[in-house]
Amino acid sequence: MSRPERPPLGQRPPVLEMIGVDKTFNGDVVALKAMNLTVNQGDFISLLGPSGCGKSTALRLIAGLSLPSRGKIAWAGGQGENDLGVVFQEPTLMPWATVSENVWLPFRLRGQPYAAVKDEVLEALKLVGLEKFQNAYPRELSGGMKMRVSIARAMVTKPRLILMDEPFAALDEITRFRLNNDLLKLKEAIGCTVIFVTHSVFESVFLSDRIVVMAARPGRVIREVTVPAPYPRDEDFRTSAEYAALCREASAALHEAMGEPA
Amino acid sequence: MSLTETRPAKAAPPETVALDAEDMRRLRLQRFDKIGKWLLPLVVLILAIIGWDRLVVWNNIPHYILPGPGLVWTTLVQDWAMLLDALLVTLQITMMALAVAVIGGVGLAVLFTQSRLIEMSFYPYAVILQVTPIVAIAPLIFIYVDSRTAGLLMCAWLVAFFPVLSNTTLGLNSADHNLRDLFRIYGATRWQTLRYLRLPSALPYFLGGLRIAGGLALIGAVVAEYVAGTGGIGSGLAFRILEAGYRLNIPRMFAALLLIAITGVVIFAGLSFLSHMLLRKWHESAIKRET
């Protein structure tokens, strides 16, 4: 598969911009304060922070599931039909539908019959290594496999931006490492843009080229850590000195976010 | 790219391993459970029938007070033509009522979940209709409704529709929240959300309500017949019981009662089977686990 060209950081066209976004609940609970974020094409951005820092709120705002109290979220070139794919913390599959029917869903909701998009669906399943399970029901799959189906569903339409809300938090460490590796391979294969919410320093450094560190009360961005290591990244990167140094840096920023000495 | 994850293979039967005493005991227990589920109720039934028969014979109970099982059986065979006609009438009312209950219950449930306003306006009346005993409403219905069949149908429907309505409403509202968000993100229309998300989520709940409604429709039909009380051709089983009672034809009462009971069991079993077939592939309730 040919890898889409990806310009280095700083030379990528923007996809989405958050400009001075506030989100207040019930009039006085400030979930997010003055958030600015430019998402560029091909970015892998992690939102890293303690609970209550507004990272999931930011994701919901971008997804259009709630509206900002102030500020705006602007899509480059306006909003379209194929802006988003989403992966939640749970696999969120329809238990009554087979694996391929679940992956078909985004197309189906656009009125496209299965026969017309069968190739795309099977291609997506192949990318996550589940082409043999297209006729299985979700309950027949393990937790990690369900998450793969969920990822296949998010990317099957090749959306402009994929949002992932702590997708691997509920999985065991071994499955998590494996899915981290596979997610990067996938990203390289289809050249997607990802915003990934996590509270794991190691995960964020391994996956992202930009780590946006957020603090709580009120939820806000306090620092951005850039991970210059080139993709593809593999186990060698996970054990390298560079990785360790970056983890220290991100960890220090996280401690700062939590108001503790590093 | 090899991303395949190995799936735990189905536990192969340990053919080569010799069964020890513990395994044998467990197997025996399993087999016993399987057979016992059918055999034990059958044994109880046979014992009860024998007991009933002996009770009647030993105490010389006259048949107009308590007929023996043999006499009930003979009556059932003798009166079969008349009882079958009556059964078909009752069954027809029951099935029509159940069908209308499903259409009305599901239709109302969908309306309720689509519009909060409609739900707030009408839900209390659905509850009131449900909690008012049907025997109390039925005489009124038969005053205002000319057609006897329509009156019976209405009574049976009133009894049967509520479980369908309340269960389906619950089911429609219990669609996974993340899936609802996902549908919103993908710009699903109201109809698509209903068709692809809410209705399938509601299916297990609906089927649970349907099983209750099946029994209730039969009860409603029988009770309404008692109230309606008209006889002649085209009367149902309940009327045959009443009529036989006036004539002190107790064996026929038993025979008709037996038919009603069997009908109830068949309806329940049929709906349970339907439920199993519809859910067996994906719903927890229908999945057998190896223990």
B2 domain-assigned: no
- B175 part of contact set with chain A, CB < 8 Å: no
B50 domain-assigned: yes
Question: Do B50 and B148 share a domain, yes or no?
Answer: no
In this structure, the number of other CB atoms found within 10 A of the CB of residue B70 comes to 14
Confidence of residue B12 (pLDDT cuts 50, 70, 90): very low
List of residues 6+ apart from A49 with CB closer than 8 A: A55, A199, A213, A214, A215, A216, A219, A254, A257
Question: Do B160 and B274 share a domain, yes or no?
Answer: yes
B5 domain-assigned: no
CA–CA distances in Å: residue B85 to residues B235, B240, B243, B246: 8, 10, 15, 20
pLDDT reported for residue B204: 95
Q: Which domain holds residue B259?
A: 69-281
pLDDT reported for residue B213: 95
What would the mean pLDDT of B193-213 be, rounded to a whole number? Answer: 95
Q: What is the total count of domains within chain A?
A: 1
- Closest-approach residue (CA) in chain A for B178: A92
Q: Which of B3, B184, B197 sits opposite A129 (nearest CB)?
A: B3
Check residue B195 and report its DSSP letter: I
Please tell me the distance from the alpha carbon of residue A216 to that of residue A220, in angstroms, as a whole number. 7
Q: Determine contact, residues A94/B188, Cβ cutoff 8 Å.
A: no
CATH (domain of A231): 3.40.50.300
**Rounded mean pLDDT for each run of 10 residues along chain A, 262 residues in total:** 57 90 86 92 92 89 92 88 90 95 96 94 93 93 94 94 92 90 88 92 93 90 90 86 92 86 55
Please tell me the distance from the alpha carbon of residue A142 to that of residue A128, in angstroms, as a whole number. 14
- Closest-approach residue (CA) in chain A for B188: A109
What would the mean pLDDT of B31-36 be, rounded to a whole number? Answer: 85
What's the predicted TM-score (pTM) here? 0.85
Query: Which of A231, A128, A116, A259 is CA-nearest to residue A182?
Result: A128
What would the mean pLDDT of B35-40 be, rounded to a whole number? Answer: 87
Amino acid letter, residue A93: L
Q: Which of A96, A109, A182 sits opposite B200 (nearest CB)?
A: A96
**Cα maximum dimension of chain A:** 58
User: What percent of chain B lies above the pLDDT cut of 90?
Assistant: 59
- A188 part of contact set with chain B, CB < 8 Å: no
Q: Determine contact, residues B233/A126, Cβ cutoff 8 Å.
A: no
Give the residue ranges of DSSP H helices in B174-231. Answer: 177-185, 190-193, 199-228
The answer to whether the Cα torsion of A111, A113, A114, A120 is positive or negative is negative
Task: Give the CA radius of gyration of chain B.
Answer: 26
pLDDT reading at B153 higher than 50: yes
Tell me the pLDDT tens digit for each residue of B249-291: 999 999 999 999 999 999 999 999 999 999 988 888 777 655 4
A32 domain-assigned: yes
ipTM of the complex in this document: 0.91
B13 domain-assigned: no
CA–CA distances in Å: residue B273 to residues A114, B248, B259, B277: 31, 39, 21, 6
Confidence of residue B18 (pLDDT cuts 50, 70, 90): low
- Closest-approach residue (CA) in chain A for B192: A109
A131 domain-assigned: no
- B195 part of contact set with chain A, CB < 8 Å: no
Question: Do B40 and B116 share a domain, yes or no?
Answer: no
CATH (domain of B129): 1.10.3720.10
What would the mean pLDDT of B209-233 be, rounded to a whole number? Answer: 86
Please tell me the distance from the alpha carbon of residue A83 to that of residue A79, in angstroms, as a whole number. 7
- B291 part of contact set with chain A, CB < 8 Å: no
Query: Which of A196, A226, A178 is CA-nearest to residue A10?
Result: A226
pLDDT reading at B229 higher than 60: yes
pLDDT reported for residue A189: 87
3-state secondary structure at position A252: helix
Question: Do B34 and B134 share a domain, yes or no?
Answer: no
Question: Do B208 and B118 share a domain, yes or no?
Answer: yes
A96 domain-assigned: no
3-state secondary structure at position A65: coil
Confidence of residue B71 (pLDDT cuts 50, 70, 90): very high
- A127 part of contact set with chain B, CB < 8 Å: yes
Question: Do B84 and B41 share a domain, yes or no?
Answer: no
Backbone angles phi, psi at A171, to 5 degrees: -95, 160
CA–CA distances in Å: residue A162 to residues A96, A116, A126, B1: 25, 23, 19, 21
Final residue of a domain: which of B10, B38, B60? B60
**Tokens 């005053």 correspond to what residue?**
B143
pLDDT reported for residue B16: 54
pLDDT reported for residue A3: 47
pLDDT reported for residue B163: 93
Please tell me the distance from the alpha carbon of residue B80 to that of residue B96, in angstroms, as a whole number. 24
A143 domain-assigned: no
Please tell me the distance from the alpha carbon of residue A203 to that of residue A177, in angstroms, as a whole number. 8
Backbone angles phi, psi at A224, to 5 degrees: -120, 130
- A139 part of contact set with chain B, CB < 8 Å: yes
Amino acid letter, residue B104: G
CA–CA distances in Å: residue A3 to residues A39, A190, B85, B211: 20, 7, 76, 56
Q: What is the total count of domains within chain B?
A: 2
Question: Do B99 and B198 share a domain, yes or no?
Answer: yes
pLDDT reported for residue A135: 94
